[in-house]
Structure 1
Amino acid sequence: MAQAPAPKEPRSALSRQLVTSELLDTATALFAEKGYESTTLLDIAKALGISRPGLYNYVSSKEELLTMLVEQVSQGLADVLERLTARADLSPTEKLRDVVALLVRQRAEHPDQFRILDRSETVLPEPVGSEHREARRKILREVMAIIEAGIDSGEFRQVDARTAALSLLGMCNWVAWWFSRDSDVEETVATVTDLAQNMLLAQGSASTSAETVRSVEEIRMILDRIAPRR
């Protein structure tokens, strides 16, 4: 008896994920250019090169796009950070570097997604607005937990964990506003990650000061290429 063909769900799921990612990037770019209210589903379909009925295979309304953005940018990140924080095989410093790298890479590669959510936070429809705000609170809690664990272990210096977490998140989030698409994503990830680590490392190591100076110089060079000083 002939065997049944192998199921195609994994490939279909991957294809859908890729299309959804492209859809979100296209939609958020249009929202940024034309404004959320002025952008139609037909505009998004045309930009993707598909028909409007074809677009309905992935999304049925602009509000659903906002929900997808919250799920991917806010809730998705919060879930990843929760799993990362729970890992016993990583030190607080390693967790910190992983968190910052994840944040910076997402902001650099998909800046419009973060910008739209940041600008629309106060007007997001319910329940997506509440879900987004809860995800942001969860992200802050997870970053604070990493910092507190680093302080307890002696890896990080004594700082207020909430203030440090907010400062770190602000530094990462700001990448979405200043990063240039012509810049090197991995170079930026490495530089900001080093800055975040050196901001918190316990003092007493000669290499800590040297690494901080080097990291500041590296990010200054990146910023000069993006917006040269006059």
Structure 2
Amino acid sequence: MAQAPKEARSALSRQLVTSELLDKATALFAEKGYESTTLLDIAKALGISRPGLYNYVSSKEELLTMLVEQVSRGMADVLEQLRARTDLSPTEKLRDVVALLVRQRTEHPDQFRILDRSETVLPEPVRSEHVEAKRKILREIMAVIEAGIERGEFRRVDPRTTALSLLGMCNWVAWWFSRGSDVEATVATVTDLAQSMLAQPNPVTPPSETAQAVEEIRVLLDRIAPPA
């Protein structure tokens, strides 16, 4: 019984080290350049020996693969799960999508910037996986926008153009956000801007919801004054 908690702690510890490893590596890539940074440089920045670093990564190319998994594929999978939820309205999903993207860009800006700069030189099959993940992210955001338009929560806009505009706004945060600034304040500001971009000035209640509301009112009136 004690084995499972021990394995869970080990997995969590590895995940934390891997996240720190990516942050340290991408900071060095940004400072010295990808080609000039060595695994020894990364090991020193992480405070471990080079042999110890091999427990987590065997090459700089593998770091790029890890970046794709965390920044692109990981985000695509999270957005797919969020979009599929039935307990949230399109507006709530939009806010959550933007918040997730902005928080990732503010907390790990170097990771996003290095991956963005290295996109054309990523080795296969990592490059194809990265491109497909970006397309999936775009599709998930478009689906949320289309659902919001259909429900009358969002203005009638072109979903693809709007999704690309939202992505551009979120991605650009990685380039101008300053370390030490208030992450949550930035997340809240950009999220509010995104909602304002799409909000329907005069929301239209879907017919099904209108009918349900009328039925609920009728039931309440019958309770207050039962028909003769």
Given candidates 77, 80, 85, the residue that maps to 2:78 is 80
Quick check: 1:136 aligned with 2:140? no
SS at structure 1 position matched to 2:37: coil
Per the alignment, residue 44 of structure 1 pairs with 42
Amino acid at match of 2:82: L
**C-alpha offsets along residues 31-55 of structure 1, whole Å, 9 cap, x if unaligned?**
0001111111000001111000000
Q: Which residue of the partner structure matches residue 92 of structure 2? A: 94
Query: Does 2:102 match 1:104?
Result: yes
1:192 aligns with 2:210: no
Q: Cα distance, 1:84 vs. partner?
A: 0.5
CA distance in 2, matches of 1:133, 1:150: 26
Q: Classify 1:153/1:53 alpha carbon distance in 2 versus 1 (closer, same or farther; 3 Å).
A: same
Q: Deviations over 1:169-216 (max 9, x none)?
A: 0000000000011210000000000000010001238xxxxxxxxxxx
Superposition map of 1:111-190 within 5 A: 111-190=109-188
Question: Residue 60 of structure 2 is aligned with which of 59, 62, 75?
Answer: 62
Q: What SS does the corresponding residue of 1:174 show, helix, strand or coil?
A: helix
User: In 2, Cα distance between the equivalents of 1:28 and 1:6?
Assistant: 34
Q: CA RMSD, aligned part only? A: 1.0
Q: 2: CA distance between counterparts of 1:178 and 1:203?
A: 31
Q: 2:25 aligns with which of 24, 27, 30?
A: 27
Distance 1:96 1:42, change over 3 A: same
Q: Which consecutive residues of structure 2, in runs of 5 or more, have no partner in the other structure?
A: 204-228
AA at the equivalent of 2:93: K
Deviations 1:63-98 (A, max 9, x none): 100000000000000000000010011100000000
Percent of aligned pairs sharing the same letter: 85
Unaligned runs of 5+ in 1: 206-230
Letter in 2 for 1:48: L
SS of the aligned residue for 2:164 comes to: helix
| Alpha-carbon distance, 1:6 to partner | 4.0
What's the CA shift string for 1:3-46, capped at 9, x where partnerless? x6443100000000000000000000000001111111000001
Q: TM-score, normalised by structure 2?
A: 0.87
1:185 and 1:62 mapped to 2: Cα distance?
29
SS in 2 for 1:89: coil
Displacement over 6 Å in runs of 4+: none
Aligned residues: 202
Larger Rg: 2
| TM-score between both structures, scaled by the size of structure 1 | 0.86
Q: Distance in 1 between matches of 2:51 and 2:181?
A: 37
